[in-house]
Amino acid sequence: MAEAIRVLETELPRDIECTLREVAGKEEGLAAEVLGMILANVDCAREGLVPMCQDTGSLIFFLSSGRCSPVHRDAIEGGIRMATDSVPLRANTVQPFTRENEGNNLGRGNPIIHFEHDPSLGEDIVLGIMAKGAGSENVGRGYMLEPDLGLPGIRDAVLETVSKAGGKPCPPIILGVGIGGTAEVAYLLSKKALMRRLDAATDDPQADALERDLMKSVNELGIGPMGLGGRHTALGVRVEWAHCHTASLPVAVSIGCWALRRVTAEWRGEAFRVVR
225: left (phi over 0), alpha (psi -120 to 50) or beta: beta
Q: Which residue(s) pair with 85 in the sheet?
A: none
Q: Is the Cβ of residue 52 or residue 251 nearer to other proteins in the bound state?
A: 52
Q: Is the Cβ of residue 33 or residue 118 nearer to other proteins in the bound state?
A: 33
CA distances from 114 to 73, 117, 268 (A): 11, 10, 19
Provide, rounded to whole angstroms, the least separation between the CB of residue 113 and other proteins. Answer: 23
Provide, rounded to whole angstroms, the least separation between the CB of residue 50 and other proteins. Answer: 5
Residues forming the site for other proteins (CB under 8 A): 29-30, 33-34, 37-38, 40-41, 44-45, 48, 50-56, 88-92, 94, 99-101, 103, 133-135, 138, 166-168, 170, 225-229, 257-259
Provide, rounded to whole angstroms, the least separation between the CB of residue 228 and other proteins. Answer: 6
Q: Is the Cβ of residue 52 or residue 210 nearer to other proteins in the bound state?
A: 52
Q: Is the Cβ of residue 88 or residue 147 nearer to other proteins in the bound state?
A: 88
Judge contact between 44 and 259, C-beta under 8 A: no
Distance between CA atoms of residues 220 and 51, nearest Å: 32
- Write b or e for each residue in 192-220: b if 16 or more Cβ atoms lie within 10 A of its Cβ, otherwise e: bbbbbebeeebeeeebeebbeebbebbbe
Distance between CA atoms of residues 255 and 40, nearest Å: 23
Provide, rounded to whole angstroms, the least separation between the CB of residue 191 and other proteins. Answer: 19
Distance between CA atoms of residues 175 and 158, nearest Å: 9
Judge contact between 53 and 137, C-beta under 8 A: no
Distance between CA atoms of residues 159 and 156, nearest Å: 5
Q: Is the Cβ of residue 64 or residue 136 nearer to other proteins in the bound state?
A: 136
Provide, rounded to whole angstroms, the least separation between the CB of residue 7 and other proteins. Answer: 15
Judge contact between 173 and 258, C-beta under 8 A: yes
Provide, rounded to whole angstroms, the least separation between the CB of residue 139 and other proteins. Answer: 9
Q: Is the Cβ of residue 56 or residue 264 nearer to other proteins in the bound state?
A: 56
Provide, rounded to whole angstroms, the least separation between the CB of residue 258 and other proteins. Answer: 6
Q: Is the Cβ of residue 135 or residue 250 nearer to other proteins in the bound state?
A: 135
